[in-house]
Structure 1
Amino acid sequence: MTWKNFTKVAVLGNAGGGKSTLSKRLSDITGLPLYVLDKIKYRSGGVEVSQEEYKRAHQEILQTDRWIIDGFGCMETVWLRLDEADTLVYVDLPLYVHFWLMTKRMISGYFNPPEGWPENSPIFKGSMISYRVLWLCHKYLTPMISRIYRSGAK
């Protein structure tokens, strides 16, 4: 099977694992349009859009025929996305690797904006949010995605 067989790809995983870099590369290889949820959920400067605006934009993407969606968004929309996706890429590195990569991204982010972040996002604030999410994702989301993957259920 080749990438030509995939038309709707959801890329998920814990913070700092390289989802945005991987998603961009997949988009370059496949020609599928890339939608970065952090750029939809947050405006320039890191200002969050309303939940209604985010959900409306997310639904508009799901209604298209071809996409790669990078990121989590919110619990409500992640399940809608997984129902529509024909392919799930889940980045599941050891927790300490995510922690290290997030720290590296925070430091380098002061010189080069992180891949997939909205323009002028506050590096320190965004990194602190990512650190808080790190354990929650590891504890709750990773086991749920693993169960889905192992069961073959969609």
Structure 2
Amino acid sequence: MKKIALIGSSGAGKSTLSRELTAMLSIPVYHLDQLNWREGCEEVSREEQIRLQDEIFEKEEWIIDGNYGGTLSKRVEEADTILFFDFPRMLCMTRAAKRVLKYRNTVRPDMAEGCPERFDYEFFKYIWNFPEQKTPHIVKRLRELPSDKRVVHFNKPSDVERFLSTLRKKQAQIK
């Protein structure tokens, strides 16, 4: 695992896992929310998103967390490992609500400076509709990948814990 893409609904835990992975593997992490937003919560153009990600793809190792569908295909093509969070909508909604409360009126660690956390109806609607509107496309895209790609499909938080436990054991054997 040298090039890892974490994808799935907002509130699933992608940023949390990416921080754990970067600490464990010493691979730099790039949060798409930091790259794709500017001061004042203005989203960069799709062209800029592509350019920024292409710069990351040139590196030997990286962890990228974020779901931005417009650049998803290229991310999963470039990654050797794809971690897909396919969690129930209520879990993602609950986690997103907790995040809003925790970081209310401040900038969370994986977001661009100048973009404080706040409640946004459209954002929660996006999370609620994710299973019907986004997941089928993601699953189809992941099935089309070549067999040399490692795809890990998490359906519940215990799947993530099991993955981390296995990874910790492997890391301990290396050391």
- Scaled by the length of structure 2, the TM-score of the pair is 0.74
- Aligned twin of 2:158: none
Aligned-residue CA RMSD in angstroms? Answer: 2.1
Indicate yes or no: 2:105 matched with 1:104. Answer: no
The whole-number CA distance in structure 1 between the counterparts of 2:104 and 2:38 is 19
The whole-number CA distance in structure 2 between the counterparts of 1:130 and 1:66 is 31
Identify the match of residue 134 of structure 2 among 141, 144, 147. 141
Percent identical pairs in the alignment equals 32
Q: CA deviation at 1:102?
A: 1.0
The whole-number CA distance in structure 2 between the counterparts of 1:117 and 1:60 is 19
Q: CA deviation at 1:135?
A: 3.0
**Structure showing greater Rg:** 2
Change over 3 Å in CA distance of 1:129–1:64 after alignment to 2:
farther
* Amino acid of the structure 2 residue aligned with 1:84: E
Indicate yes or no: 2:102 matched with 1:114. Answer: no
Q: CA deviation at 1:148?
A: 4.8
* Amino acid of the structure 2 residue aligned with 1:118: A
- Runs of 5+ unmatched residues, structure 2: 147-175
* Amino acid of the structure 2 residue aligned with 1:31: S
* Amino acid of the structure 2 residue aligned with 1:105: R
Query: Over residues 38-92 of structure 1, what are the superposed CA-to-partner deviations in whole Å (9 max), with x where a residue is unaligned?
Result: 111002332222222221111111122211001023x231001101111011122
The whole-number CA distance in structure 2 between the counterparts of 1:129 and 1:29 is 35
Indicate yes or no: 2:77 matched with 1:83. Answer: yes
Identify the match of residue 40 of structure 2 among 33, 45, 69. 45
- Aligned twin of 1:3: none
Query: Over residues 107-151 of structure 1, what are the superposed CA-to-partner deviations in whole Å (9 max), with x where a residue is unaligned?
Result: 1112653341112313226x43421321342113222333455x4
Query: Over residues 85-107 of structure 1, what are the superposed CA-to-partner deviations in whole Å (9 max), with x where a residue is unaligned?
Result: 11011122211111111111111
* Amino acid of the structure 2 residue aligned with 1:69: I
- Aligned twin of 2:155: none
The whole-number CA distance in structure 2 between the counterparts of 1:115 and 1:14 is 18
- Runs of 5+ unmatched residues, structure 1: 1-5
- Aligned twin of 2:172: none
Change over 3 Å in CA distance of 1:56–1:34 after alignment to 2:
same
The DSSP-based 3-state class of the residue aligned with 1:124 is: coil
Tell which has more relative contact order, 1 or 2 (C-alpha 8 A, sep 6+): 1
Change over 3 Å in CA distance of 1:55–1:153 after alignment to 2:
closer
